[in-house]
Amino acid sequence: MSTDSWEAVLQRLDDAATLSGVDPEIHRMLRFPRRLLEVSIPVRMDDGHVEVFTGWRVHHNTVRGPAKGGIRFHPEVDASEVSALAASMTLKTAVAGLPFGGGKGGVRCDPTTMSDGELERLTRRYTWEISPLLGPDIDVPAPDVNTDERVMAWLMDTLSMIRGHDLPGSVTGKPLAIGGSPGHAGATAVGVMVCARAAFDQLDMTMAGSRAVIQGFGKVGGPLAFLLTSAGMRVVAVADAGGAVHNPGGLDPSALSDHVVKTGSVVGFEGGDAITESDMWSLDSELAVPAALAGAIDKRVAEHLGAKVLAEAANGPTTTDADPILDERGIVVIPDILANAGGVTASYFEWAQGRQGFAWDEDTVAVRLRASMDSAFANVWAKADALGVSLRRAAFALAVERVADAIEARGLFP
């Protein structure tokens, strides 16, 4: 991702500010991240030499609460991408009605080439370098691309050692053994499912017998395939970095998951035929879900997309030049700041449990997650109706209004 990612966020932010009619001075404030920290991360590799990586932690806006956002390890991550993702988190937490602001972190590295020991040393040194920005009341990281609960455990342990006391509320997406929350792992997929079902209801479509295509079969796409199949949908195609498979009768998500565990990719799955990712997007379907990296739905894909509803499980999967094409074709887009907010909502629940020192049971988490996502979708749908605009424009407008309300209430210091 390049500076285009930040420019895309600014375009949508500018449009939302115009739609909602917020004070131009507040709009101007939202066009700049509050703070951006860039750090060098020296790590002694297994062969004894020292490699120096670059990392970032960005706070976009924190008027509604502590910064909240994941940390990604990826060879192409940069300051622009992290800033754009932090701004999206400001808007996402506002849409979801959570008491958080927007943050994001990243380290430019290729974790697939690193040993467990190298990854741990990288994580702990990165945590040390950004530690002035972290804490339960300041900034609460979570897993993102190429990071997981193990990385979060190292981060929490390092920060606890620095501060001299246990800080379970300083990070979410932790293992259950150290204060993680049941239901966190699949929460993003659950949120996408709730939004897709709500959209189908509004459009008088039925899920049973409908077809879905999914790009990505990882932490979100994998669980989502199970959820959609359980709802009676046929997941007719799935793509990942290696390629794509197609079965018009529906792929078996359990068998596909076993295949991916064994081979590392959906490619070669005997329960489906090989297909290109481009052809997958063109398949006739009721639901399409980009659940991988940004920019998947570009102008070319938008022109040939065969789905009626697009649910953005990934962050920033649709380019700005694709939006008007999707609108013109009547494709309903459930934007990322709404569709994938299940993950940050579950993170809020975990943070709250850490602050309370009281663990909720899995049923409580599940019920509250569904209720929160249903409410967020209903609010955005109502806003879209009131303004006569797409769900994306409505979601951004609603988010900007909520952040603006908080800025106005707090005032400007000094």
Residue 104 designated active-site: yes
**Dist CA 287 CA 408 (whole Å):** 39
Residue 69 corresponds to which amino acid? G
CA dihedral 94, 95, 97, 98 (to 10 degrees): -50
Which one, of 116, 111, 169, 190, lies nearest residue 144 by Cα?
111
CA dihedral 79, 82, 85, 90 (to 10 degrees): -90
Annotated catalytic residue: which of 68, 92, 104, 383?
104
Helix (H, G, I), strand (E, B) or coil at 62: coil
Residues ≥6 apart with Cβ < 8 Å to 411: none
Residues ≥6 apart with Cβ < 8 Å to 68: 89, 93, 98, 100, 101, 102, 103, 139, 140, 142, 344, 347, 348
**Dist CA 290 CA 306 (whole Å):** 13
Residues with a known catalytic role: 104
